[in-house]
Amino acid sequence: MATQLQLAKTGTITGEITFVAETEGVDAELVRTELAAGRLIIPANKLHLKTNPSASLRTSLKPIGIGRALTTKVNANIGTSSIRSSVEAEIEKMEAALAAGADAIMDLSTGANLDDTREQLLARCPTPFGTVPIYQVIEGRDVEDIDNKIILEIIERQAKQGVDFFTIHAGVLKEHLSLLEKRIAGIVSRGGALLAKWMLYHNKQNPLYEMFDDLCGILAEYDVSFSLGDGLRPGCIADATDDAQIAELKTLGELTQKAQQKGCQVMVEGPGHIPFDQIQYNMEIQQKICHGAPFYVLGPVVTDIAPGYDHITSAIGGTAAAFYGASFLCYVTPREHLGLPNADDVRVGVIAAKIAAHAADIARGLKGAAEKDKSLSVARANLDWKTHLAESLDPQTAERMHIEACEQIPVEKLPSADYCTMCGRNWCSVRINKEIREAMKNK
Ligand code: SF4
């Protein structure tokens, strides 16, 4: 069975292409041509799709497209850690992320029972589901002991479970490690750091790079998309856009073409921590080096000094990234750099990333984006509280805040109130404007 990419190249409009086009309100032929050109992917493991008769999962995938021709998508990372591990807590976080509008979920678990955790999450996940298989390769053994056989076995096992995209850190090469000397934060990617340790111990090349052809074979068989990992992404503002980051990006560009030639869908991961003025350059150089493959960025975080507020620092960077070239934003929660997030951190992180993505979609003139704002603004101008709150990105929070404020000073109940506690009735410019408009109409 061919992959989405191979089928698109033959001119076939698959059911998944049609579904994505209808969801986005664009022409199916546009989705097909972008997919065939490698500028768009539909991460959809054949075993996560209902259309596949051998699909074993209880919840089938609703495919999404990731690429510049479509709306900017948002990913939420969840997963157990080696010292805090509860499947129930991760299910709760995934449900919070999906309810807040996450377009994709990544399970970054490193705790106990990884196969079972993944199975339980996947069984409930209707969106593309990603993992970083090298985590499981390392689980329960010393990093020095991993070999090619273990890596291939784990990757195939996860593909057979229905995972839709894999982060593969194949671009971190032995020769890149000497470029890290001047860094403050070193290697902050868990996969990148573990592979670097393996390379130094064995004095050999990255096994994921050496086995890349074999990996392409497995990923193509199940149509798992590559998310080519940025193992050398900068972990602080001072390290941004350095030689190590760019050297790895060049390798990722080569691997992008190699994987696409073998029928695999590819997106490329990017930083990380970038000062605001370097975001445009980072987006443009990735698009050039990686031949337009969708760029999936973590944040980017635009300052290091706001732990506790990194959903905000990343949303600032995320809007700029999505405006200049990224297609997929990985959320950052307020607890980033501080600890494992809880369900509320996840919810807040997703909302912040959704705001960033939507703000960029408005600015790049994407069809339908500004119309949502216009619709809410009309309701706001008409003091139509019901529509105003319902059409907001986070209706529950908006409604809760409004009601709380109303309760502080008894005002007229929703939906008839023609002012709020912010200015009071006599000072409510929205109400006065409404009266002016009506008076002018009557004249
Ligand atoms: S009272 Fe002030 S904040 Fe509230 S609706 Fe009127 S203008 Fe807006």
**212-267 confidence digits (pLDDT tens):** 999 999 999 999 999 999 999 999 999 999 999 999 999 999 999 999 999 999 99
CA of 19 to the centre of ligand 1 (A): 41
412 falls in which pLDDT band (50, 70, 90)?
Answer: low
pLDDT above 70: residue 378: yes
Strand 104-107 and strand 73-78: the pairing is parallel
pLDDT above 60: residue 415: no
- Atom index in ligand 1 nearest the CA of residue 424 equals 1
Question: Looking at ligand 1, which residue's alpha carbon is closest to its atom 3?
Answer: 422
**Range with the poorest average pLDDT among 4-13, 354-363, 379-388:** 379-388
- Atom index in ligand 1 nearest the CA of residue 428 equals 6
- Atom index in ligand 1 nearest the CA of residue 431 equals 6
Best mutation site among 377, 402, 422 for ligand 1 pocket (most ligand atoms within 8 Å of CB): 422
50 falls in which pLDDT band (50, 70, 90)?
Answer: low
Nearest in space to 101 (alpha carbons), one of 359, 392, 401, 296: 392
In this prediction, what percent of the chain has a pLDDT beyond 90? 88
- Atom index in ligand 1 nearest the CA of residue 429 equals 7
Question: Looking at ligand 1, which residue's alpha carbon is closest to its atom 7?
Answer: 428
**What distance in Å separates the CA atoms of residue 225 and residue 247, rounded to the nearest whole number?**
23
| Sign of the dihedral defined by the CA atoms of residues 184, 138, 150, 167, in that order | negative
Core vs surface per residue 52-64: b (16+ CB within 10 A) or e: beebebebbbbbb
Per-residue pLDDT at 290: 98
Cα 227-231-234 angle, rounded to 5 deg: 115
CA of 394 to the centre of ligand 1 (A): 19
Give pTM, 2 decimals.
Answer: 0.95
**What distance in Å separates the CA atoms of residue 78 and residue 294, rounded to the nearest whole number?**
22
Running DSSP on this structure, what letter comes out for residue 77? E
171 falls in which pLDDT band (50, 70, 90)?
Answer: very high
Nearest in space to 225 (alpha carbons), one of 46, 423, 410: 46
Overall average pLDDT of the 388-406 stretch: 92
CA of 383 to the centre of ligand 1 (A): 9
pLDDT above 60: residue 56: no
**Which protein residues are within 6 Å of ligand 1, measured from CB?**
419-420, 422-423, 428-431
Core vs surface per residue 364-394: b (16+ CB within 10 A) or e: eebeebeeeeeebeebbeebebeebbebbbb
pLDDT above 80: residue 367: yes
Per-residue pLDDT at 420: 87
pLDDT above 90: residue 442: no
